[in-house]
């Protein structure tokens, strides 16, 4: 079973497969509003409430770890 974690706030949400996440930080670099951090080698989206649904993070992840997001529902 995949290790999928969902963060949500203020009608924004993102689901990330932490088995695929390598903690390489492309999402951290590309997000214009600092939604993401890397904690203990995996992504953390604690600040999902700040999301402006630009879609950049999904395209930036080389591992396709971002499996669904409020911007693409
Ligand atoms: S959709 Fe844009 S604003 Fe929202 S988390 Fe992804 S990169 Fe950040």
57: domain CATH number?
3.30.70.20
Q: What's the pLDDT at 72? A: 63
Is 80 exceeded by the pLDDT of residue 73? Answer: no
In which domain, by residue range, is 67 found?
Answer: 4-72
- Count: domains in the chain: 1
Q: What's the pLDDT at 71? A: 73
Q: Whose structure tokens read 């989206």? A: 45
CA of 50 to the centre of ligand 1 (A): 8
Provide the pLDDT confidence category of residue 64 given band limits of 50, 70 and 90.
very high
Task: Report which ligand 1 atom has the smallest distance to the Cα of 30.
Answer: 7
- Averaged pLDDT score across all residues of the chain: 94
List the structure tokens of 55: 């879609």
Contacts 24+ apart (CB under 8 A), 10-13: 10/49, 11/70, 12/48, 12/49, 12/51, 12/53, 12/70, 13/48, 13/69, 13/70
Pocket mutation for ligand 1, best pick of 9, 54, 68 (most atoms within 8 Å of C-beta): 54
Task: Report which ligand 1 atom has the smallest distance to the Cα of 58.
Answer: 6
């Amino acid at each position: 079973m995949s290790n999928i974690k969902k963060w949500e706030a203020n009608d924004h949400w993102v689901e990330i497969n932490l088995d695929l996440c390598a903690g390489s930080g492309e999402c951290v670099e590309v997000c214009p509003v600092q939604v993401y951090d890397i904690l203990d080698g995996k992504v953390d989206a604690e600040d999902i409430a700040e999301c402006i649904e630009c879609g950049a993070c999904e395209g930036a992840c080389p591992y396709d770890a971002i499996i669904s997001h409020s911007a693409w529902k």
